[in-house]
Amino acid sequence: MFGKEKCVQARRMQRRPLKALRVCFLRNGDRHYAGLNMAISRTHNKDFQALMEQVTESMRRHVVLRSAIKKILHLDGTPLKSVSCIGEGDILICCCQYEEMIRIEYTVNKDFQKQRELQTRCDERRIYGDTLENVKPTDLPETIRQQLKHLQPLMQTPRTVIFRGYRRCNGTKRVVKMVNKQYMDYNLDDPYLEVEVLRLLRSHPNIVEMMYSLKDERHLYMVMEYMEWDVDEVIQVYGPMSAVNARKVMKDVSAGLKHMQEMELIHRDIKPANMLMRYSTETGVEAVKITDFGMAVFYKGSKLRSCCGTPGFMAPEMIAERGYDYQVDAWSLGASLFHVLYERLPYADDYTTLDEIYAAILSGGPNYPEEMIKDTDPEAKDLIEGLLVRKPNNRLTIDEVLKHPFVDQ
């Protein structure tokens, strides 16, 4: 699991009130030391620097340290930046000053491993016990089945299922999104607002339309309009888009984002896969609509700090946890335009670890494919560079995107 996703998931897995987290700290490069087991309280261990000092003091009783612990990483190499990114059962690598993580087969305390496996099973039963992976169309509420026929799953996970069906009265295609309410309830940082957001944004031409919603004791159901493609699928099938099609994508998505901002909403997961579209090879892009508002949040002026989104499209201020606002959607829009034109991401495609991706986003420049850059519309490139600006205050706003020469033609 990606480190940033792991950070979000760790927070979702905690009960109320938050209990102490059982964590195992390993010494970097030491395959024999079975680890330091500690209980981390988010109430008493809020200061990450103080936690590293505590780990240093405790670990020095068992192993030789060249210096104090200066860096703590997940097993996949993702560095911890705050106590909030620690989850129950985490196994963490402790590095001294100037040390790089050594990837070896570490030995972990057997008792800790048993506790971890037991806790994982308990958490899965608690949060995903009502798994949706085996849900069938016949499990949908009778109200939905009375209105829709030929229901088939398009996507199925433990937390969410998306069905496609046809209205019995006229054959119009519809989508049913089914969400596990336990998953919604355990997103502690921000409430799950998708239904509320879709109701607030309804009838806008660039926002996917929700016809109605239902809920029962365990699940939430949203019946929405169906669109044949998303932008990512079109790119996978037909390759990079022309400037004309890319312009239409940017114009429609920006219009949708402008409407969201007028309603004080941030999407937080703008990417080609969340841009539904009507498309044909004859006419190109006809219409684009923003979808998937599971991470959407209201913005009331105070900077947000929750870790969420899709690696590769996340803004640097979100990665650095410096606080963010509407401008994270503008950055993601720039990364999406890059992907639309080049069939690659500006930072992620040249790197294999999340660490490297985040480092590139925080300090590198977008990596244009040399064989394609000469054919890029100069106004499109100017728009990309105006959106992929690290300082949010210097980044183009959505209003400015709509007035940009590439879009406003």
Q: Catalytic site residues?
A: 269
Whole-angstrom Cα distance, residue 137 to residue 177? 12
Positions of E strands within 97-142: none
| H helices present in 223-326, as ranges | 231-238, 243-262, 316-319
Two tokens at 50?
A: 């103080």
Q: Which residues of 339-365 are buried (b: 16+ CB within 10 A; e: fewer)?
A: bbbbbbbbbbeebeebbebbebbeeee
Whole-angstrom Cα distance, residue 187 to residue 16? 11
Burial class for 118, CB neighbours closer than 10 Å (0-12, 13-18, 19+):
exposed
CB 96 within 8 A of CB 28: yes
* Strands of the 284-290 sheet, one edge to the other: 229-230, 275-280, 284-290
- H or E stretch covering 286: strand 284-290
Whole-angstrom Cα distance, residue 217 to residue 298? 26
CB 113 within 8 A of CB 23: no
Whole-angstrom Cα distance, residue 266 to residue 104? 41
* Strands of the 173-180 sheet, one edge to the other: 148-156, 160-167, 173-180, 219-225, 210-215
Whole-angstrom Cα distance, residue 353 to residue 237? 26
Whole-angstrom Cα distance, residue 141 to residue 215? 9
Rounded alpha-carbon distances, angstroms, from residue 41 to 22, 60, 123, 291, 367: 9, 21, 18, 37, 41
| H helices present in 148-242, as ranges | 181-185, 194-201, 231-238
3-state secondary structure of 200: helix
